[in-house]
Structure 1
Amino acid sequence: MAHTIHGKKKLLARVRRIQGQAAALERALEQDADCTAVLQQIAAVRGAVNGLMAQVLEGHILQHLGDPDTPAPQRERDVATVASALRSYLK
């Protein structure tokens, strides 16, 4: 996935922020934090993961499905890959 390699630095920064948010969620749970604070932290983690998914998916679509030079059989495989990822993610 060449698009993830080009955006590797930004993607890794997003992943590290997600790790920090997940660690904060773990600390909140360990410290018996208020339910509202825990729910807010869960929402933050979820939003961050959704943003990461959107960024990678957009890059994949633009790189693979938007390239007019991609042969039809490859494009069909790429469409199936994106559809599978979406089905899995939206469960």
Structure 2
Amino acid sequence: MGHLAADTDRMTARVRRIAGQIAAVERAIAADAPCATTLHLVAAVRGAVAGLMDELVEEHLREHVAAQGLSDAERIAGADELATVLKRHFR
């Protein structure tokens, strides 16, 4: 997704925050934390990953499906790529 180059630092920071959340889940499990605590941590990870997915899907739609100047073939390819990812995502 080369069009994200301008947002590389922001996106990398977001992924690192998610990695930190995953590490917190690991620490909670290793420390035998209460179930509710671990469940809250996992729910936060799920929300963070969902937010990242939302942002990436929106960027893909804007750049590879709806952008001005794309050929019909490019739009179809962009839509096909997104459909493949969404099928995997919603399994």
**Which protein has greater RCO, CA pairs closer than 8 Å, 6+ apart?**
1
Q: Give the structure 2 partner of residue 4 of structure 1.
A: 4
Q: Give the structure 1 partner of residue 45 of structure 2.
A: 45
Q: Residue type matched to 1:2 in 2?
A: G
Q: Residue type matched to 1:74 in 2?
A: E
Output the CA distance in 1 between the equivalents of 2:32 and 2:86: 35
Q: Give the structure 2 partner of residue 77 of structure 1.
A: 77
Runs in 1 of length 4+ with deviation above 3 angstroms? none
Q: Give the structure 1 partner of residue 63 of structure 2.
A: 63
The within-5 A match list for 1:15-30 is 15-30=15-30
User: TM-score if structure 2 supplies the norm length?
Assistant: 0.94
Match of 1:49, SS state, is helix
RMSD: 0.9
Greater Cα shift, 29-38 or 55-64:
55-64
Q: Contact conserved, 2:66 with 2:75, CA < 8 A, in 1?
A: no
Output the CA distance in 2 between the equivalents of 1:3 and 1:21: 27
Structure 1 residue ranges without an equivalent (≥5): none
Deviations 1:37-75 (A, max 9, x none): 010000000011011111111111111111121000111
User: TM-score if structure 1 supplies the norm length?
Assistant: 0.94
Identity of aligned residues (%): 38
Structure 2 residue ranges without an equivalent (≥5): none
